[in-house]
Amino acid sequence: MEQILDLLLFCASILLIIGLRKLSNPASASKGNLIAAVALGLGVLVSILYPVVTDDNNYLIIVIGISIGAIIGIISSHRVQMTKMPEMVSLLNGFGGLAAALVSLVWLINNDFSGETGQLVIVLLNLFLGFVAFLGSLIAYGKLSGKIQDKHLRISFSTLINITLLVVAISAMIFFSISGNLSITHLCVFIALSLLYGFIFVAPIGGADMPVVISLLNSLTGITAAISGIMTDNKLMLLGGVLVGSSGIILTLLMCKAMNRSLLSVIFGNFSSSKGGESSVDGDVKEINPSDLAIQLAYSSRVCIIPGYGMAVAQAQKTIKDLESVLESNDVEFKYAIHPVAGRMPGHMNVLLAEADISYDKLLDLEEANDYLASTDVAIVVGANDVVNPSALEDPTSKIYGMPILELSKTKSVVVLKRSMKPGYAGIQNPLFFKDNTKMLFGDAKESIELILRELKDL
C-alpha cells in the first residue's frame, strides 16, 4: 500500500509540472490550473491515507483539518472579487508560511528541542522564514486592502534595524545548532525575533513597491514548503516548494528590474521612502467629455489602453473589450500597454484582461509599449497613476525616481480616466495630468467608457 501511495505522489508530481507548464500560455492556462489542482488533490489524498496504512491514529485530525480548510477555501473563492485578488493572494501566502513554521515547531516538539547541527539549522531556518512570510504577508494584506496606511508605519532607521535583526537571527540559528538543543524560552525569543523581522521588513515599504514585496514573500513561502517537504519526507511538497521558490525568485528579480531596484534593497526594505520630499506640481487640468473623445477615437488610426488598478475597481475590462470591438470594426488598431507592476500584484492586469477574453497578442510589454506609444494617436489611461508618472524620469526627489514607466510624452493625445485628482498608490501627484497633450475624463471608468461607446454608435 505504501508503494501505491508513493506511486500516486510520483504521478501527482508529474501532473503538477505539466499544469504549471501550461500556465505559461494564456490559451492553456485554465487547463493547466485544473491539472495542477488535480495534482494537489492527489497529494491531499495521499496525506489522508498515509497515516492509515502506517497505523497512526491521527488521520481523523487530518480529515477534520482538511475539511475546515476546504470549507473556508470554497466560501472565499465564491466571495472574493477580482479587485480583491491581490489581498487574497497575500493572505493565503501568509498562511502558507505559517503552516511551514508550525511544521518546524512540531518537529522540534517531537525531537525534544534537540538534534544534529545540520538538522537544527534547517528547522530553525524554516521556522524563521515561515514566520517572516506569515507576518510580512499580513502587513502586505493590510496595506493592499487599505486597512494599514504607510504613514502609520514610519520607522526610523528601519534599514539598520533590518540588518541588525537579520544578523542576530542568523547568529542565533548557528549558536543553537552548534549547541544541539534550545530551551522553550530561547524558542519563544527566536519566534518573537522572526515575527519582528517580518514586521520591520514590510512595514516601511511603500505601496508602489508592494508587487515586488509580494513576489519575494511568495518565494519565501515556496522555500519553506520545500524545506517542510524534506522534513516530512513528502516529495510533492518538496517539488511544489522548489518550483514556487525558484520561480518566485526569478519573478522578484524581473520585478526589481522593472522597478529599477536592487534585490538587496528589497531584502533590507525601506526602499520607497528613501527619497526626500516631492517637488510641487503646478498647472491647469484640461477636461474632455465622452462625446469629444468618441469623435477623436473614431478618426484615429492607433489607440492604446493603459490599464491600472482603477480599471479593476470599476470592473471596466469587459466594457473596454466592447470598445475594442467597435473601434476595430472601423479599422482602428487597438493595443494594451501593460506595465510589469500595474495593479497590486505581478500579472494583475493580465488576469483581468484575460477574464474579458482579450487576446494576449494585443498586450504589449514595457519596451514594446513605449515604441508603440510614440506613434499612437490616442492613449487612454484607465485608472493607472504611478506607472505613467513622469516624475520617475524627471524628479530626483521622487519616491519612484529611476523606475521605468510607460512614457506618454511622445503620444499625440493622452486621455486619463480617473475618479478625481487624488494621488495614486505611491501617494504622489502625477505631473502627466498637467501636460499639454493630456486631458482628463473624470468619473467611474466603466461608466465613462459606456458613454463613449454610446457616442461611437451614434456617429
Looking at per-residue confidence, does 254 or 273 come out higher? 254
Grid cell listed for 180: 544541539
Q: Please give the helix or strand (H or E) that residue 338 lies within, else none.
A: none
As a whole number of angstroms, the distance between CA 403 and CA 370 comes to 14
Q: What average pLDDT does the segment 159-181 reach? A: 88
336-392 tens-digit pLDDT: 999 987 877 777 888 888 888 888 889 998 889 999 999 999 999 998 888 899 988
177-197 tens-digit pLDDT: 888 878 899 999 999 999 999
- The answer to whether the CB of 393 falls within 8 A of the CB of 419 is no
Cα 71 to Cα 38, 44, 67, 77, 142: the distances in Å are 18, 15, 6, 10, 24
DSSP 278: P
Grid cell listed for 40: 494537489
- The answer to whether the CB of 381 falls within 8 A of the CB of 417 is yes
Q: Which of 331, 386, 395, 436 is catalytic?
A: 386
258-305 tens-digit pLDDT: 666 677 766 665 544 444 455 566 678 899 999 999 999 999 999 999
CA 239 from chain centre, in angstroms, equals 22
Cα 226 to Cα 240, 241, 264, 274, 422: the distances in Å are 7, 4, 23, 34, 43
- The answer to whether the CB of 391 falls within 8 A of the CB of 401 is yes
CB neighbours of 347 closer than 8 A, spacing ≥ 6? none
Determine whether 365 is an active site residue.
Answer: no
378-382: strand order across its sheet: 363-364, 333-337, 302-307, 378-382, 413-418, 438-442
Residue 303 pairs in a beta bridge with 334, 378
SS3 for 440?
strand
Of 334, 391, 337, 341, the C-alpha closest to 363 is 337
As a whole number of angstroms, the distance between CA 143 and CA 89 comes to 13
Residue 441 pairs in a beta bridge with 417
**pLDDT at residue number 57:** 64
**pLDDT at residue number 55:** 60
Looking at per-residue confidence, does 206 or 123 come out higher? 123
298-325 tens-digit pLDDT: 999 999 999 998 898 888 999 999 999 9
Helical residues (DSSP H) of 111-209, grouped into ranges: 117-145, 158-179, 184-202
Number of H helices, E strands in the chain: 17, 6
**pLDDT at residue number 268:** 65
**pLDDT at residue number 415:** 96
40-62 tens-digit pLDDT: 889 888 877 776 666 666 777 77
